[in-house]
Amino acid sequence: MNSVESVSLRRPEGPEGPEDWLVNSVQSFEDWLRAAGRPSYDPYDVWGTRYGLWARRLYYRKHPVGIPSVAPLLLMEILFPQVRSVLVRKDTFATSDAQLVLAYLNLFSVSKDPKHLEAARAIAKELLAASVPGFSGHCWGYPFDWQNASGLWKRNTPYITATPYAYEVFVLLAERGGDPSAREVAKSIARFVHDDLRDTPTSAEAAAGSYSPFVNDKVVNASAYRAMVLFDAVHRFGLESYRLKAQRNLNFILESQRADGSWLYAVDCPSQSFIDHFHTCFVLKNLHKLNRWIDSEAVRGAIQRGWDYYRRALFEADDTPKSFAILPRTGIVKLEMYNMAEAITLGVLLRNQIPEGFALAKKLAERLGSQYQLANGHFVTRIYRGGIRHTLPFMRWPQAQLFYALTSLLVALSPGGTSRE
């Protein structure tokens, strides 16, 4: 990454085009990324240590010492996040690498400079090399063990929440980079998504798609990611046999939308019956992406109802994104920058159906650049209640997402820019 040269962006002459603040913000981050490189620490890395796994296991079992056991790591994260440097090493992550590629492809569509395309291809090459072997097609997970309410998920377990970003990478490399091998990689990814993930029937016409190949769960955003990839593969590659699973996953999403327009994180799982910001964004943006192919009025209606709830319940009065909609899961975080990234990306995606979303995206992006971008170019990670600012840059959470969000807005505001609406 450090060998990639930064390319200066220029604001187009005339009244149309992106504002100087946006161009400068993107350029500043790109310069920081070039100097810092892609490996980084991660908010979940210390939880994958032997102590972290033990503490979370006790916590999820509601053991009397569960809360006292996780407390030291929570306090470390809030007050001294840099202490993790003595516990874990920096690493690269499939989701952040994929979003960096997508951001560079956005910049290439604006700058037309081949150096941006070269940067995208270089990271994509490493992303492909990191694919998890042993499945029907290319797939990706995370390089750490993760103890959650369902049990222990080992490092490099492939996830539907990571793999679709790589799918979009290779689709776009084929489209914009003219790389025929990228198209074959994308087809391979779609094969994993179709063949290796499980379906759990939820009604006569619906089924939830699994988070990984080893579970039968009913996580709504996981099904949305899967439906998006499968519908895309049906139309892009002519894989008509994928339509049935795609439609059943979509039906699950539509049937699980509540009367107020919201989606719980997971269905039939009390410990995961929460509504949060960025997972709501995941559902909405994947519904939008799949509806580019099927043009369903039912999906448009679900997006509109979901958006109305999202704006009503997941923002403060000043448009600051809220992490959770249902008490008591408000947490100790006042502003999670991952939420900011997803809100901007979603607003850009929905700009034709919901113009208010695009206006919100521009407002949040300007606030991000003016209030939360540090002098060296990267962004604040989060702000805790009480004003404590977490500034250790985690590439997967949310530096890459913010870079992708801002470059997506840059494309949308640039005459002649190519975007995937």
User: How far is the C-alpha of 339 from the C-alpha of 254, rounded, in Å?
Assistant: 23
* Beta carbons of 140 and 163 less than 8 angstroms apart: yes
Q: What is the CA radius of gyration of the chain?
A: 20
Confidence of residue 7 (pLDDT cuts 50, 70, 90): low
What is the model's pLDDT at position 150? 75
DSSP, collapsed to helix, strand or coil, labels residue 64 as coil
> Residue 329 — pLDDT band, cuts 50, 70, 90?
low
Average pLDDT over residues 34-52: 95
- Alpha helices by DSSP H, listed for 47-93, are 50-60, 66-79
Residue among 227, 107, 239 nearest 172 (CA) = 107
pLDDT at 347 over 90: yes
Closest CA to 311 of 361, 268, 273: 361
Residue among 419, 409, 381 nearest 23 (CA):
409
- When pLDDT is averaged across residues 275-285 and rounded to a whole number, the result is 97
- How far is Cα 280 from Cα 205, in angstroms, rounded to an integer? 23
Number of Cβ atoms within 10 Å of the Cβ of 237: 16
pLDDT of residue 331: 74
Enumerate long-range contacts of 128-133, CB under 8 Å, 24 or more apart: 128/170, 128/185, 130/92, 130/94, 130/97, 131/166, 132/156, 132/157, 132/158
% of the chain residues with pLDDT over 70: 93
Beta strands in 103-205 (DSSP E): 146-148, 151-153, 199-203
DSSP 390: E
pLDDT at 15 exceeding the cut of 50: no
Residue 240 is classified by DSSP as G
Per-residue pLDDT at 299 exceeds 80: yes
pLDDT band for 332, please (50, 70, 90 cuts). confident
The residue whose two tokens read 């958006």 is: 307
Tell me 13's DSSP state.
S
Residue 11: is its pLDDT beyond 80? Answer: no
First to last CA, the chain: 29
Helix (H) or strand (E) holding 384: strand 382-384
List the Cα angle 244/254/213 in 5-degree steps.
Answer: 55
pLDDT in tens, 135-184: 999 999 999 988 887 788 899 999 999 999 999 999 999 998 888 899 99
What does the pLDDT look like over 372-412, one tens digit per residue?
A: 999 999 999 999 999 999 999 999 999 999 999 999 999 99
Residue 42 has a pLDDT of 96
Q: How confident is the model at residue 119 (pLDDT cuts 50, 70, 90)?
A: very high
- Measured CA to CA, the distance from residue 114 to residue 406 in angstroms comes to 20
Structure confidence at residue 271 as a pLDDT band (50, 70, 90): confident
Q: What is the largest CA-CA distance in the chain?
A: 65
Region 297-313: what's the mean pLDDT?
Answer: 98
d(CA 374, CA 391): 8
Distance CA 319, CA 127 (A): 35
**Hey, is 219 helix, strand or coil?**
strand
Average pLDDT along the chain: 93
